[in-house]
Amino acid sequence: MKHPRAFSREDWLALSLPWLGPLLATGLGMLLLPVVPVANLALVYLAGVLVTAVATRWRPALLSAVLSFLAYNFFLTEPRWSFAMRHDEDVLTAVMLVVVAVITSHLAGRLKEQVTALQAAEAWNNLQMDCARNLSACVDPPCVVDILCRHLRSALGWHVRALELSELDASGVPVAELQRGVVWREDRAGASVLLGDDRGRPVAGLRVSAAQPVSDWHRDRLEVLTRVARLAWGRVQLAESLREETLGKEREQLRAALLSSVSHDLRTPLSSMIGSVSSLIDLADALGPEQRRELLGNTLSEARRLDRYIQKLLDMTRLGHGELTLDRDWVGLDDIVSVVLRRLQPLMGQVEIKLELPADLPLLYVHPALIEQALFNVLENALRFSPAEGRIWLSAERAGDSVVIDVRDSGPGIPPAQREQVFDMFHTFSHGDQYAAGSGLGLAICRSILAAHGGAVEVLDRPPGQGAVLRMTLPLVRPPRGEKEDA
């Protein structure tokens, strides 16, 4: 069922001006009749006909001309109040009104068509520029598809939707054609726009449902927009290929670094353990109790070192695959610190750890074991680069909606150029024989754990040779609804 079309402004003018123009002209003519010759009053009606012809179409203008002549003849010319024409010039007035109405309405109509065509061309040019500008900002394929869909809908005025995977597989477009990037094919119900990769496989598509028969006007717009999208699609595909190639190289570098690190960091404690155990077996009768105790202690220390390294590898693997979940709970920072200090006791030696923990620190809503591991890694790193009888300061304070934890050591410090690199996987940092390099995993794990909590870790500026300060920041988040802080 078709709904009646609502009247537009032009429709109202076409209905009202043919009657309103002669009526106003007659009223003005009646007022001017005593002072203006009757022949000159025809110009008043002519003005009304011109206004109607310019504002409407030729039919209303012609009706206005006829009504104007009848009103002029009836009300103003002799004999008045009659349609009789006594003078030949009255007939000429009628003809002139009709001719002016037809010619003016025709010229006005052509002018309107030209203005409408110019406005349509300007809108089309603006749409093309807007499409090109939006596509130039795209960095992934879904963005190109979404923008192309939106501009096809605006340009054609038809319904446009994304194609399903089954529709893409059944498209039947030749591989050589799809290798161009973006192509379109017309059918009886509209058109299909397909986007393919460099192998000629369709990876995305749009269905354009035609509301009327497809004309050359529609084909031109489809061709122009697909040509613009083809450039953006090629750029995005190239960027995707470069990204995959870069990821492949990084993956290979990471694999090589992992193999190198594992081979070195596993062999070192294993070699020490094998040497100690071999000495215990081969020289059992020649070793005294103190020497045996020293060899056993060395074996135990290297076994613990090996265990810590394997644990770090496992943690990093879980973090990289997203297998670590946050089992949050309320915990005090002092409780975490006390557990970490107990774990660090075998590694501390003569190094002293000074604590500066305010009593009014708020509770943290975190995964206790993960934050404990992150703090352990930072402190273990500080112990490694502190002198034998050095000192480490651990302080914390509230800063707005976060808790800031600073760990400052008395080691050689970290050069500015390496303050970001120390958080990369397998990046090691050493100062000759005095400070041995670690596994290169501890700080990378720390950053991943804090990032999972919405926090961060960074190296602060310190003068050279005055130690390093690592700052850990944890946000004070609200618990989910239903949980209380003292739970």
pLDDT tens-digit profile, the chain (487 residues):
444 555 677 778 778 888 888 888 888 888 888 888 877 777 787 788 778 877 777 778 778 878 888 887 788 777 778 777 767 676 777 677 777 767 777 777 778 778 888 888 899 999 999 999 999 888 888 899 999 999 999 998 889 998 887 777 766 777 677 777 888 888 888 888 888 887 778 888 899 998 888 899 989 999 999 999 988 888 888 888 888 787 667 656 655 555 555 555 566 677 778 888 888 888 877 888 888 888 888 888 778 777 766 765 665 555 555 555 667 889 999 999 998 898 888 778 888 899 999 988 999 998 887 888 889 888 988 888 888 888 899 999 999 899 999 999 888 888 887 778 787 766 665 554 444 545 566 788 788 888 888 899 998 887 777 788 999 999 987 665 555 444 3
Report the greatest alpha carbon distance in the chain: 154
DSSP conformation class of 82: S
Single-letter code of the amino acid located at 67: L
Q: Helix 289-321 crosses helix 216-282 at what angle (to 10 degrees)?
A: 170
Query: CA 70, CA 386: separation in Å to the nearest integer?
Result: 112
Query: CA 98, CA 293: separation in Å to the nearest integer?
Result: 126
What's the first-to-final CA gap in the chain, in angstroms? 64
Number of neighbours of residue 391 by Cβ within 10 angstroms: 14
Nearest partner of 408 among 392, 422, 419, judged by Cα: 392
Specify the pLDDT at position 125.
Answer: 92
Q: What b/e readout covers 352-380, taking b as 16+ CB neighbours within 10 angstroms?
A: ebeeeeeeeeeebbbbbebbbbbbbbbbb
Specify the pLDDT at position 356.
Answer: 92
Spell out where 8-167 has E strands: 159-162
Superfamily the domain 325-475 falls into: Histidine kinase-like ATPase, C-terminal domain (3.30.565.10)
Structure tokens at 462: 């310190």
Specify the pLDDT at position 151.
Answer: 92
Specify the pLDDT at position 98.
Answer: 72
SS3 177: helix
Structure tokens at 81: 């109040």
- Residues 328 and 366 sit within 8 Å (Cβ to Cβ): yes
Distances (CA, A) of 291 to 65, 277, 286, 288, 305: 127, 12, 10, 5, 21
Nearest partner of 135 among 225, 221, 222, 232, judged by Cα: 232
In the chain, where are the structural domains located? Answer: 9-118, 131-242, 259-319, 325-475
Specify the pLDDT at position 434.
Answer: 47
